[in-house]
Amino acid sequence: MTTPAVPMVKAEGVHKSFGHAHILKGIDLEVAAGEVFCLVGPSGSGKSTFLRCINHLEKISAGRLSVDGHLVGYRQKGDKLYELKEREVAAQRRDIGMVFQRFNLFPHMTAVENVMEAPVQVKGESKTAARERALKLLERVGLGNRTDNYPSQLSGGQQQRVAIARALAMEPKLMLFDEPTSALDPELVGEVLDVMRGLAEDGMTMVVVTHEMGFAREVGDSLVFMDDGVVVESGHPRDVLTDPQHERTKAFLSKVL
């Protein structure tokens, strides 16, 4: 008998509140290893908050959230959950790459230095090894000729591609993208989505919060529509986008497609 594969991400009844604001209201979902999982929905629906819970940038208020079979931010003893120490959480985060709307690059470092930084500082890699891999990653995201440029010398799309290379430098098993193209001029969106397509083809597990419905349709394996902190509808992207079953999904898609 084959044992069932462990989901890369598993959310069970995940709730998140900020004070009196109840942002996530019981999220249940699974992301398989190697899957491109797209989250769509209106602003304020809880998509980005959920993404930040996956790597414990936000602590969940209730429920369970695990990555590759391990609880995120907690350990279980008996039937109780105990929060991990910050250094233990940091160790978990090494396996989870995250790309934000804003590129968050170090302005005083070149592209290659930005990509080298975490492996050297966090993993204790030698600068030589880290630089060698950083150069390969910048080549992979189409910036082999921009390695010594500072962020201020790069376009938004180029900066976001450096940010993707920087996340990949830690050799994560899971990549989280929080609306990675929303801060870009329209003509720069394609170059970032092309890099993400390449990652999908290489089998990287990706959870992508996006407004790019074309990308979700072409590259996504699963699509979840969230609204007001709950999963309203989920399925294969083409099915959800072409034949939504829920009135709320239909209303949302009529505005964005």
Task: Report, as an integer, the average pLDDT of 163-184.
Answer: 95
**Residue 2 pLDDT > 60, yes or no?**
no
Is 4 contained in some domain? no
Cα separations (Å) of 28 from 3, 57, 143, 148?
Answer: 22, 19, 38, 44
Is residue 3 over pLDDT 80?
no
Domain span including residue 181:
9-254
Is residue 149 classed as helix, strand or coil in its secondary structure?
Answer: coil
Q: What is the pLDDT of residues 83-120, one digit of tens each?
A: 888 888 888 888 999 999 888 899 999 999 999 999 99
Q: Is 241 contained in some domain?
A: yes
DSSP percent split of the chain into helix, strand, coil, nearest 5: 35, 25, 35
Supply the pLDDT for residue 233: 96
Asked if residue 118 is part of any domain, the answer here is yes
| Cα–Cα distance, 125 to 118 (Å, whole number) | 9
SS3 call for 131: helix
Domain assignment present for residue 244? The answer is yes
Which pLDDT belongs to residue 1? Answer: 60
Report the pLDDT value the prediction gives residue 86, as an integer from 0 to 100.
Answer: 87
Per-residue model confidence as pLDDT tens digits over 32-52: 999 999 999 999 999 999 999
DSSP secondary structure string for all residues of 156-178: HHHHHHHHHHHHHTT--SEEEEE
pTM, whole model, 2 decimals? 0.94
Q: Is residue 19 part of a domain?
A: yes
Instruction: Specify if 3 maps to a domain.
Output: no
CA 238/CA 65 separation, integer angstroms: 27
Helix, strand, or coil (residue 239):
helix
146: in domain: yes
CATH code: domain of residue 121: 3.40.50.300
Q: How many domains does the chain divide into?
A: 1
Query: Residue 89: helix, strand or coil by DSSP?
Result: helix
Q: Is residue 95 part of a domain?
A: yes
